[in-house]
Amino acid sequence: MKKIHSIKFSRIILYIVLALGAIIMVLPFYWMIIGAFKTSAEINQFPPVWFPSSFNLDNFKFALETAPFATYFLNSLIVTFCCLICCTFTTILGAFAFSRLKFFGRDILFSLLLALMMVPFEMLIITNYRTIVSWNIHDTLFALIVPFTSSIFYTYILKNFFASIPESLYQAARIDGCSNWKYLWRIMVPIAKPALVTIILLNAIACWNSFLWPMIATNSPAVRTLPFGLYAFQTEGGALMERMMAAATLVVLPMILLFLFARKYIVNGVARGGLKG
Amino acid sequence: MKITIENLTKQFDNHLAVNNFSAQIESGQLVSLLGPSGCGKSTMLNMLSGILTPSQGKIWFDEDDVTDVAAEKRGVGLVFQNYALYPHMTVLENICFPLEIQRVPKAERIARAKEMAQLVHVEDLLDRLPKQMSGGQQQRVAIARALVKKPRLLLLDEPLSNLDARLRIEMREEIRRIQQSIGITTIFVTHDQEEAMSISDAIILMKQGVLQQMDKPQELYDQPKNCFVADFLGNPTINKLNAVYEGGRLLVEGMPCDIETSSVPASAPLYLSCRVESVLINQKPSSIKGTIIDTYVIGKENIANIQVGNSRVRAYIDSDSALRPTEEVTLSFKNKGVFLFDANSGERYI
Ligand SMILES: Nc1ncnc2c1ncn2[C@@H]1O[C@H](COP(=O)(O)OP(=O)(O)O)[C@@H](O)[C@H]1O
Ligand SMILES: [Mg+2]
């Protein structure tokens, strides 16, 4: 009797802690979204307004009109999409090669690649910049895509996942007449779906939010992306909080949608592709 | 399809897993590859399927040398010990997969997969995922997947070892039924002699990568070629008594024995091995004596444990037998099921 009681009690504590954590996570987003609908009077009011009196869209309209937001948005979309396609493709092929194929110097090569991860991105900027200049793709969307068409880190994660898939599945597939290529796409990739979705999400967020490199690699507004737009907005739109909030909401919205959409796949992937024994 | 294996050898880094293995398997037969764990059975099977390349030797399917043919081109069916079903595919998708690879039109492959599912009795489970099925069901699906592309050779690697005892007996009969119904040449790997004895046309017994004997199950039991074969087959295991040939007669645990012997080297250590059912207690005059240690019942059999010299002997006794522990008995042997082996080389003399 006493035991059941204490279990219940610790449960309640656990839920309270989890709920607090959730609130702390969500609050800034809520504040941002709600702020985007407020009037300038409401935003500076104290005590703070938790529910705006009306959902006016003026701030969004302003944000979209001030900076060439539509262009930025489209550029961000193109860059993120291309990076995701290329990077996911090379990651899958690399992970397969390093986990299943046997070739001379495989493990040494992979250790070298891993060692490259120690080099911070800021240091690579100089060499990357020189490369895009010499390729003459400076100040184009290509400059924003080419350096991100592969990732050692994601390859490493996926390689480990691939390596955990039993060898006997590979042998079974070969007996069934399957080539390496088909085995990769029909067996390994579907099984690795949860890991892949995670990688794609992380990558999408990184691409979407990338700021430093686009700042350096591009000059003209025609090829700049959303994070820069947000930055420009601060100076051009004046320090009006409610408008900043609207712009930020516009920037973050696609990522939130993507996350909500992918959540189902993560859960499904784990439930369906889970390996037994 | 007839399988011919010629001097097949597989050397891993520092381990000889299969050593100079030659055998011929007749078309349509079910042959068991039997041996203790680690004796190279899976290695052997993987060389037949093409997953492993032999270090030496040749494999022939009928008249074709397939030694260098890749696994995906050999057209064999293989059932793995852990079934290796594709976890993200349903039963139907799993069975269809080999046909999909062969680009069989969709309607046809579904029809053929369903036909196979019926043969192995999983037609009601077509929409399940592997993890939603029991071991026995998964195994049936694995067999269906192996058979659906109509292979000329079916290989099964310890397919029953993950099942419980009752299901094991049921499934081995199932495997025999399926094999007979399509008449496919089948090689069945197991470490369980009873399993091998019960379903095979022939048994190949292996030890440390070397073929010991290939024969019909009953022949293997009645006429073992060496001591290992005699020890490996039979449940309860065969009795082993120390013997030596001296002064023109056989001494068993130091006691003279009237078994006919010829061409046995003098003074060499020997084993007199006798099947449990070949030991007679107090039935004939004999100078081999023993002491009853205990008696027990397994199922319908009554068995006595007898101390003879330094060895233990088991023998069947009548259920109404009055034999009691510490009682002294006389042992003699039937003609059948008694063998004499060299204790060192295992070579058989009688
Ligand atoms: N890939 C390998 N590398 C090195 N040794 C191996 C390999 N595969 C199997 N062996 C060794 O070969 C021997 C036979 O293995 P295996 O054929 O799997 O035995 P069984 O199936 O009869 O239990 C074992 O001693 C095992 O350790
Ligand atoms: Mg094995």
- Residue B100: is its pLDDT beyond 90? yes
Pocket test for ligand 1, best of B8, B10, B15, B207 (most atoms within 8 A of CB): B15
Find the range with the poorest average confidence among A34-43, A101-110, A235-244, B87-96.
Answer: A235-244
Q: Would you place residue B186 in the very low, low, confident or very high pLDDT band (cuts 50, 70, 90)?
A: very high
Whether the Cβ atoms of residue B44 and residue B57 lie closer than 8 Å to each other: no
Nearest to B316 by CA among B339, B293, B298: B298
> Which ligand 1 atom is at minimum distance from the Cα of B35?
22
Give nearest CA residue, ligand 1 atom 9: B43
Residue A89's pLDDT band (cuts 50, 70, 90): very high
pTM: 0.80
Could you tell me the domains of chain A? 60-271 (1.10.3720.10)
CB B191, CB B34: distance < 8 Å? yes
What band does B153 get if pLDDT is binned at 50, 70 and 90?
A: very high
Residues of B with CB under 8 A from a CB of A: 46, 49-51, 70-73, 75-78, 80, 82, 84, 86-88, 97-98, 101-102, 129-131, 145-146, 149
| pLDDT tens-place string over residues A3-36 | 667 778 889 999 999 999 999 988 888 888 888 8
pLDDT digits (tens, 9 = 90+) for B304-317: 999 998 899 999 98
How far, in Å, from the CA of B158 to the mean position of ligand 2? 7
> Which one of B101, B145, B146 has the shortest CB-CB distance to A178?
B101
- Is residue A164 within 8 Å of residue A275, measured between CB atoms? yes
What is the C-alpha separation between B17 and B209, in angstroms, rounded? 5
pLDDT(A41) > 80? no
Tokens 């007199």: give the residue.
B272
Tell me the average pLDDT across B218-246: 91
What's the rounded Cα separation, in Å, for the pair A93 and A196? 12
pLDDT tens for each residue of B65-74: 999 998 888 9
Cβ neighbours for A245, distance < 8 A, ≥ 6 positions apart: A32, A33, A35, A36, A38, A43, A59
Confidence of residue A71 (pLDDT cuts 50, 70, 90): confident
In this predicted structure, the answer to whether residue A43 has a pLDDT above a threshold of 50 is yes
For the CA of B46, the closest atom of ligand 1 is 17
Cα separation, A201 vs A188, in Å, equals 19
- Whose CA is closest to A38, among A229, A232, A249, A255? A249
For residue A2, pLDDT over 60 is answered with no
DSSP B343: T
In order of their start, the domains of chain B are 3-224 (3.40.50.300), 236-342 (2.40.50.140)
Per DSSP, what are the bridge partners of residue B23? B5
Which positions ≥6 away from A20 have C-beta within 8 Å? Answer: none
Average pLDDT of the segment spanning A90-110: 93
Q: Is the alpha carbon torsion for B84, B87, B88, B89 positive or negative?
A: positive
Q: Name which of B297, B268, B288, B271 is nearest B329 in CA terms.
A: B288
